[in-house]
Amino acid sequence: DAKTTQPPSMDCAEGRAANLPCNHSTISGNEYVYWYRQIHSQGPQYIIHGLKNNETNEMASLIITEDRKSSTLILPHATLRDTAVYYCIVRVATGTASKLTFGTGTRLQVTL
């Protein structure tokens, strides 16, 4: 699986949009981009995933560049409960052996 690069930490004011970048310059054509977050002492929570088109759900939006070498997770109106470590992961979709490999992620701190 391709490696990803994320900033180690970011701050965001409550109510503002949080934009979390991720570089995945060696992504393959059949690899999806997944975003998860982990709130302290809990298991990771799935947020969103995409292949090449931008995606939006009730939690966030995922913007993938046209060359697919980077993406941005957008939390439109961050709240204190969004404070967590956010992981950007690329994964081959096919086959039962495809698995999520976690990097160090971005620690997002939402402040008042």
Partner 1 sequence: GAVVSQHPSRVICKSGTSVKIECRSLDFQATTMFWYRQFPKQSLMLMATSNEGSKATYEQGVEKDKFLINHASLTLSTLTVTSAHPEDSSFYICSARDQGGSNQPQHFGDGTRLSIL
Q: What is the CA radius of gyration of the chain?
A: 13
Q: Which is nearer to partner 1, 42 or 112 (CB)?
A: 42
CB count in 10 Å sphere of residue 24 = 23
Site string for partner 1, 43-72 (x = CB under 8 A): xxxx--x-x---------------------
Distance of alpha carbon 25 from alpha carbon 67, whole angstroms:
9
Closest among 94, 90, 101 to 28, alpha carbons compared: 90
Residue 80 beta carbon to partner 1: minimum distance, rounded to whole angstroms: 20
98 binds partner 1 (CB under 8 A): yes
- Binders in 68-97 for partner 1, by CB under 8 A: 87, 93-97
